[in-house]
Chain A
């Protein structure tokens, strides 16, 4: 009956055949979840330890960070075939595709560099020295800035995409793991896993202007480790994955207050919205499943079993 109700809800929305692609770190595979049916419909093998995943703007290619294969793999999402590998530098973890759809900025965790790859010529265009253990990657909507966060240096490094030089560094809390631009690039949000906070940084001054703090009732503060996050289309709300606290926080982006905590699976990493933004899919590393959050009601409605240690998530409409 619940299923019937869910299907009825979904039938009302123009969901189409939208999919959520999830990388399974330990299974070396991608689980493809059908948004309407909320079940895994396809499992695709990848290189070793796939983590970051992103589609290009027309969804004709999917890029996968195969960390232990030291490569970024390029896949045809229709056939699931790996077309070729891109040179990526060592241990790529996260990356971001510039708005020009051509330049991929890759964080090389072990080498303390950010590698810029041209996806057409398949050549490394530049390597930029950044802090120790770079991970989070973000690109401003106008494509002028790329930000790398380094987990050990605890900084967000602002890279000018024209000169490919670091133009500013912003100190954030311990172990920054994920970064996203908001408000048309005016603000940058950076999550700090050990610090347990999300820093809000002004893009013009590169200075921190606010901070989001979390407290889940009944959970030890050490377990509250913010990692991935995503904004609703109106940018009024942010959903922040809190790692081993098994909760996703719902944050008001104006007041920076946490409005709700949603219980999901164990060790929640990253997330992706369905194309209509009704559902939010979170990857739960330790429990090996993906929880589906009803965005409006702010509650998890079900958890879908995927491969071992799901990590990254991307939507394919």
Chain B
């Protein structure tokens, strides 16, 4: 038991060091959503107000709408980056060291996932603080309620990354992940536009957005920011976490997963 926690702290420590060591990544993680908030959202400002939809109780401006989606963006990018660093670890050999630890493999993966998610949540909170300074704020209790929502969504997206990392052989494939996972997930979600807006464009797009687990992560965060629970979104996020997590454990299983085939 003691051993298991030692592993957790060691992995979290390494994750934190890696994150802090990469100043560029730290800055990028915050600047990316800020550019979206300040530049992209400004173009769609909707000075005359967007229609009311839950959890909002009155008219809002686009900046207010987009903030939960940008939190989701932070979690998505960081989840992918931190999980895909495993690909790098595998290439450099440090993964072998990790995987030889006399602990169940799923626990090691869970440690990696939790460590990455904590960093995702911290980034999102920093972003929310900057957004509040910029003028987009929520009730104070929203900042507390959003923490578990951010964490669950971060776990789900990190698990997706873990699952993918078990299939990816080389780090160069990150561009492919960007094009085929991150962008479609982000754009085909409720992060940038409400669902009814998508329905106006095409029913198919609406259905894809409604099924996208990332949408549910964003909605979970959106409702939590106003102190409300989105039960369906929570269920979808937890379900996706279970599926991605199980697939990742399977993928890293030396006897069955992709690693076996490679070896």
Residues 54-77 of chain B: 1 if any A CB is under 8 Å from the residue's CB, otherwise 0? 000111110000000000000000
A263 near B57: Cβ-Cβ < 8 Å: no
User: Of A218, A300, A302, which contacts B45 at CB under 8 A?
Assistant: A218
Could you tell me which residues of chain B, from 30 to 50, have a CB within 8 Å of some CB in chain A?
45, 47-49
**Contact A219 to B47, CB < 8 A, known contacts A5-B139, A5-B141, A264-B59:** yes
Residue of A nearest to B228 (CB): A1
A17 within 8 A of B: no
**Contact A266 to B227, CB < 8 A, known contacts A300-B59, A301-B57, A301-B58:** no
**Cα A299 to Cα B52 with chains together (Å):** 15
B47 near A303: Cβ-Cβ < 8 Å: no
Q: Which residues of A contact B228 (CB under 8 A)?
A: 1-2
The 6 closest A-B pairs by CB, nearest first: A218-B47, A1-B227, A302-B57, A303-B58, A300-B58, A219-B47
Q: Which residues of B contact A (CB under 8 A)?
A: 45, 47-49, 52, 57-61, 139, 141, 145, 226-228
**Cα A292 to Cα B59 with chains together (Å):** 11
Cβ distance B247 to chain A, nearest Cβ, rounded Å: 35
User: Of B52, B60, B61, B139, which contacts A2 at CB under 8 A?
Assistant: B139
B57 near A266: Cβ-Cβ < 8 Å: no
A1 near B141: Cβ-Cβ < 8 Å: yes
Q: Which residues of A contact B (CB under 8 A)?
A: 1-2, 5, 216-219, 223, 245-246, 263-266, 287, 289, 291-292, 300-303
Number of A-B contacts (CB under 8 A): 52
Cβ distance B77 to chain A, nearest Cβ, rounded Å: 29
Cβ distance A214 to chain B, nearest Cβ, rounded Å: 13
Cβ distance A280 to chain B, nearest Cβ, rounded Å: 13
**Cα A292 to Cα B52 with chains together (Å):** 13
User: Of B49, B145, B226, which contacts A263 at CB under 8 A?
Assistant: B49
Residue of A nearest to B140 (CB): A5
Cβ distance A262 to chain B, nearest Cβ, rounded Å: 10
Q: Which residues of A contact B139 (CB under 8 A)?
A: 2, 5
A263 near B45: Cβ-Cβ < 8 Å: no
Residue of B nearest to A305 (CB): B52
Cβ distance A19 to chain B, nearest Cβ, rounded Å: 20
**Cα A218 to Cα B45 with chains together (Å):** 8
| 21 interchain pairs, CB-CB under 8 A | A1-B228, A2-B227, A5-B139, A217-B47, A218-B45, A219-B47, A245-B48, A246-B49, A246-B59, A263-B49, A263-B59, A263-B61, A264-B59, A265-B59, A266-B49, A291-B59, A292-B58, A300-B59, A301-B58, A302-B57, A302-B58
**Cα A264 to Cα B59 with chains together (Å):** 6
B48 near A219: Cβ-Cβ < 8 Å: yes
B226 near A2: Cβ-Cβ < 8 Å: yes
B57 near A2: Cβ-Cβ < 8 Å: yes
Residue of B nearest to A219 (CB): B47
Q: Which residues of A contact B58 (CB under 8 A)?
A: 263-265, 291-292, 300-303
Q: Which residues of B contact A292 (CB under 8 A)?
A: 58
B57 near A246: Cβ-Cβ < 8 Å: no
B47 near A265: Cβ-Cβ < 8 Å: no
Q: Which residues of A contact B226 (CB under 8 A)?
A: 1-2
